[in-house]
Amino acid sequence: GESVGLHLPTLSVQEGDNSIINCAYSNSASDYFIWYKQESGKGPQFIIDIRSNMDKRQGQRVTVLLNKTVKHLSLQIAATQPGDSAVYFCAENIVGYQKVTFGTGTKLQVIP
């Protein structure tokens, strides 16, 4: 079936470095993609989203890149901080449909 997955289950980065978290999706019909951050014991928190008519979107210290040709999504975090330590997962959706498919998540560990 269709699925959303992540290449790396755990990512360790030095404080101040940039982080890149990757996600592969398989449903070519998906046109809306979201990145969530989930801290221990908390609910997922929206970080940034992107629609399929774009290939890049920037927020505060975060950038999402979408490559529809290879069905790949990435989240870039600039100047990673200890507060960025969390599990990050991507999700895909077809606008107008309820179903949102979530990846299993990548744990980001920031080394002080």
Partner 1 sequence: NAGVTQTPKFQVLKTGQSMTLQCAQDMNHEYMSWYRQDPGMGLRLIHYSVGAGITDQGEVPNGYNVSRSTTEDFPLRLLSAAPSQTSVYFCASRIRGETQYFGPGTRLLVL
Give min distance, CB of 85 to partner 1, in A. Answer: 18
Q: Which of 18, 79, 104, 111 binds partner 1 (CB under 8 A)?
A: 104
Q: Which of 19, 30, 86, 105 binds partner 1 (CB under 8 A)?
A: 105
Query: Which residues are bridge partners to 14 per DSSP?
Result: 111
Q: Does 42 bind partner 1 (CB under 8 A)?
A: yes
Element (H, E) at 101: strand 100-102
Q: Does 49 bind partner 1 (CB under 8 A)?
A: yes
CA dist 112 and 109 (Å) reads 10
Among 45, 58, 67, 81, binds partner 1 (CB under 8 A): 45
d(CA 94, CA 101): 10
Select 47 or 79, whichever has its Cβ closest to partner 1. Answer: 47
Per CB under 8 A, 22 contacts partner 1: no
Distances (CA, A) of 29 to 54, 69, 110: 15, 12, 35
